[in-house]
């Protein structure tokens, strides 16, 4: 449940570890992001174990603030800005000994302090899935996101209950996701659950920021 183009301001080095239990299978991931000279770069790697065909995923992502500030004049609100970004990745399937590459690109812009529009083109070299959406900040405590792509709507919201506790919820019409996160200093611990008509999956994550 990120901003429409999946881009935001990065002010310091951040590392995140996550694990999930889905349909009796485990998945793990690790990612890091860091700022550099006004451009925002991220590098992540993860692996997925399903008991049959293990998949190792690698991804490189970057964003550039063309003008303005994606967060802006008030904490939690978008400032007038235009941001462009890309991501490139590869999936390696051990059972088939094959590699599948994918490339995404997107942009995000906001003309008002509380409203941002975005568009992303996923898998540029193959399926070319176009997604569009918007984010709206109602106040310092609540943000809503709506996304449409591949004939499917997605919606979600974030609620900052306090300075340390945040709640999230979202759905794509088939899955219902809800979660919470606790923030203390430079650490953040999160938990989420996804519900479908017949299954429930769980995930937990730990995030660490450095000054």
Q: Is residue 8 part of a domain?
A: no
Calculate the dihedral angle through the C-alpha atoms of 21, 32, 189, 142, rounding to the nearest 10 degrees. -100
In a domain, 109, yes or no: yes
Say which residue, 133 or 77, is predicted with more confidence: 133
pLDDT score at 76: 55
Residue 91 lies in a domain: yes
- Find the domain containing 90 and state its range: 14-209
Q: What are the angstrom distances between the C-alpha of 83 and each of 11, 86, 130?
A: 15, 11, 17
Number of domains in the chain: 1
Q: What is the spatial distance between Cα 200 and Cα 52, in angstroms, rounded to a whole number?
A: 21
Query: Under a CB-based contact definition with an 8 Å cutoff, are residues 71 and 79 in contact?
Result: yes
HSE value, Cβ hemisphere, 13 Å, CA-based, for 45:
2
Of 26-30, 85-89, 90-94, 184-188, highest mean pLDDT: 184-188
Strands (E), the chain: 14-22, 25-36, 39-49, 55-68, 81-93, 98-112, 115-122, 129-137, 142-149, 152-160, 165-171, 176-184, 187-195, 200-209
Determine, yes or no, domain membership for 92. Answer: yes
Q: Within a 10 A sphere around the Cβ of 137, how many other Cβ atoms? A: 22
Is 193 inside a domain boundary?
A: yes
What pLDDT sits at residue 47? 53
In the chain, the N- to C-terminal Cα span, in Å, equals 25
Q: pTM, whole model, 2 decimals?
A: 0.77
b/e per residue, 182-202, with b = 16+ CB within 10 A? ebeeeebebebebeeeeeebe
Question: Does a structural domain hold residue 9?
Answer: no
User: From the CB of residue 143, how many other CB atoms can be counted at a distance below 10 Å?
Assistant: 23
How confident is residue 48, by pLDDT bands cut at 50, 70 and 90? Answer: low
Q: What is the pLDDT of residue 49?
A: 55
Q: What is the pLDDT of residues 100-132, one digit of tens each?
A: 788 888 888 877 777 888 888 888 888 888 989
Question: Alpha-carbon distance 101 to 162, whole Å?
Answer: 41
Whether pLDDT at 7 is above 60: no
Tokens of 40: 């925002």
Within a domain: 180: yes
Q: For residue 73, what is the domain's CATH number?
A: 2.40.160.40
User: Does 6 fall in a domain?
Assistant: no
Question: What percentage of the chain reaches a pLDDT higher than 70?
Answer: 77
């Amino acid at each position: 449940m990120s901003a429409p183009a999946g881009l935001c301001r990065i002010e310091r080095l951040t590392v995140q570890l996550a694990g999930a239990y889905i349909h009796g299978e485990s998945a793990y991931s690790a990612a890091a992001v860091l700022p550099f000279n006004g451009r925002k770069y991220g590098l992540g790697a993860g692996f997925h174990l399903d008991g049959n065909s293990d998949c190792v995923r690698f991804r490189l992502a970057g964003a550039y603030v063309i003008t303005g500030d994606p967060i802006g004049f008030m904490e939690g609100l978008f400032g007038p800005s235009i941001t462009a970004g890309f991501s490139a990745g590869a999936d390696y399937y051990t059972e088939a000994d094959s590699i599948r590459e994918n490339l995404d690109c997107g942009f995000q812009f906001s003309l008002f302090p509380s409203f941002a529009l975005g568009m992303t083109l996923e898998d540029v070299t193959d399926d070319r899935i176009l997604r569009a959406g918007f984010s709206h900040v109602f106040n310092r405590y609540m943000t809503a996101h709506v996304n449409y792509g591949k004939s499917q709507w997605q919606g979600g919201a974030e609620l900052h209950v306090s300075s340390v506790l945040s709640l999230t919820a979202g759905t794509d019409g088939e899955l219902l996701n809800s979660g919470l996160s606790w923030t203390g200093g430079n650490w953040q611990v999160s938990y989420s659950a996804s519900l479908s008509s017949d299954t429930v999956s769980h995930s937990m994550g730990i995030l660490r920021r450095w000054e």
